[in-house]
Amino acid sequence: MTRHRGRIALLALGVLAVALAAGVAVHLKTGHHQASRRQPPSARSASPAAPVLPAPAGWTLIATVQTGIPRYPRPGGAPDGTVPARWYGMPSALPVIGQQPGWLRVRLSTRPNGSIAWIRRADAAVTATPYRITLSLATRHLELFRADKLVMSAPAGIGTGSDPTPAGQFFAAFFERSPGSGYGPFILVTSAHSETITDWENSGDAVVGIHGPLGARIGPAGAAVSHGCIRLPVGDLIRLRVIPAGTPITITA
């Protein structure tokens, strides 16, 4: 677990291909494109009637909200809550998993695990990323893909039988400063929450992070050593620094 301290007019596919070769996130906005290695600034809102946004195979659209916005159980229905502008002090960058004209279906960072909602496309800046992460709890290995091509496979420390790492569809929420050398240079905070711990060290939640080994030996076969967090050898952890917030994470049993 991690303890938080507060922290298109459409693009031509040729532009996306160039960005893919560079391994960057791409802004998708009306009449404009921009590529950046860092998390992007706010993009201009699209029209609510804007058509569905395309994404090349292996890419994921990411919706980033700038203010608290309504969330909906279905397009055009009554709102049933709010998507906050920030989560633990960091911008809400949410993977897009479905679309209708003027609407985006996104994953949420809040409990319960697997929470989803519809938001108006006009309420979010839309970017795209070629990255995704998978973790197999059976093999205890984490893999990083870029446009569906495997670029890293690493043994992982996962949760023990009493405090397992949850399986499901999640995403990278933000990077947090490391609280100590054992964690490595940073913690990658995910949208996953422990199913057995509700309040880790008085933080008010128990959010799964990806970080260094904390002194545990993560051998070639991986290890069951954590309270649900995912531990990686530091050299492998550092290779995850290229991904933007909103990058999908799939954890399988």
Please tell me whether residues 68 and 155 are part of one structural domain: no
Please tell me whether residues 141 and 90 are part of one structural domain: no
In this prediction, residue 49 carries a pLDDT of 57
Please tell me whether residues 135 and 242 are part of one structural domain: yes
Q: Is residue 89 part of a domain?
A: yes
Position 247 confidence tier, pLDDT thresholds 50, 70, 90: very high
Q: Is residue 181 part of a domain?
A: yes
Q: Is the pLDDT of residue 218 over 80?
A: yes
Position 107 confidence tier, pLDDT thresholds 50, 70, 90: very high
pTM across the whole model: 0.83
Q: Is residue 118 part of a domain?
A: yes
Q: What mean pLDDT comes out for the span 32-50?
A: 39
Q: Is residue 7 part of a domain?
A: no
Please tell me whether residues 171 and 142 are part of one structural domain: yes
Higher pLDDT, 6 or 222: 222
In this prediction, residue 203 carries a pLDDT of 78
Please tell me whether residues 135 and 248 are part of one structural domain: yes
In this prediction, residue 6 carries a pLDDT of 37
Position 28 confidence tier, pLDDT thresholds 50, 70, 90: low
**Last residue in a domain, options 86, 111, 129:** 129
**Last residue in a domain, options 87, 111, 129:** 129
Position 62 confidence tier, pLDDT thresholds 50, 70, 90: very high
**Above pLDDT 90, what percent of the chain?**
75
Per-residue model confidence as pLDDT tens digits over 130-140? 999 999 999 99
Cα 51 versus chain centre, distance: 24
Please tell me whether residues 125 and 151 are part of one structural domain: no
Please tell me whether residues 213 and 144 are part of one structural domain: yes
Q: Is the pLDDT of residue 47 over 70?
A: no
Its domain, for residue 221, covers 131-252
Q: Is the pLDDT of residue 243 over 60?
A: yes
Nearest to 110 by CA among 33, 207, 185, 24: 207
Q: In CATH, what number is assigned to the domain containing residue 182?
A: 2.40.440.10
Nearest to 20 by CA among 59, 54, 51: 59
In this prediction, residue 25 carries a pLDDT of 53
Q: Is the pLDDT of residue 185 over 90?
A: yes
Please tell me whether residues 90 and 159 are part of one structural domain: no
Per-residue model confidence as pLDDT tens digits over 220-240? 999 999 999 999 999 999 999
Please tell me whether residues 199 and 224 are part of one structural domain: yes
Q: Are 43 and 30 in contact (CB under 8 A)?
A: no
Asked whether the bond before 112 is cis by omega within 30 degrees of 0, the reply is yes
Please tell me whether residues 104 and 181 are part of one structural domain: no
Q: Is residue 2 part of a domain?
A: no
Q: Is the pLDDT of residue 17 over 50?
A: no
Q: Which of 50-59, 104-113, 169-178 has the lowest mean pLDDT?
A: 50-59
Q: Is residue 8 part of a domain?
A: no
**Last residue in a domain, options 70, 100, 129:** 129
In this prediction, residue 16 carries a pLDDT of 42
In this prediction, residue 2 carries a pLDDT of 56
Tally of domains in the chain: 2
Q: Is residue 100 part of a domain?
A: yes
Please tell me whether residues 83 and 24 are part of one structural domain: yes
Q: What is the mean pLDDT of the chain?
A: 85
Q: Give the CA count within 13 Å in the CB-facing half-sphere of 215.
A: 1
Please tell me whether residues 124 and 57 are part of one structural domain: yes
Q: Which of 21-30, 92-101, 148-157 has the lowest mean pLDDT?
A: 21-30
Q: Is residue 220 part of a domain?
A: yes
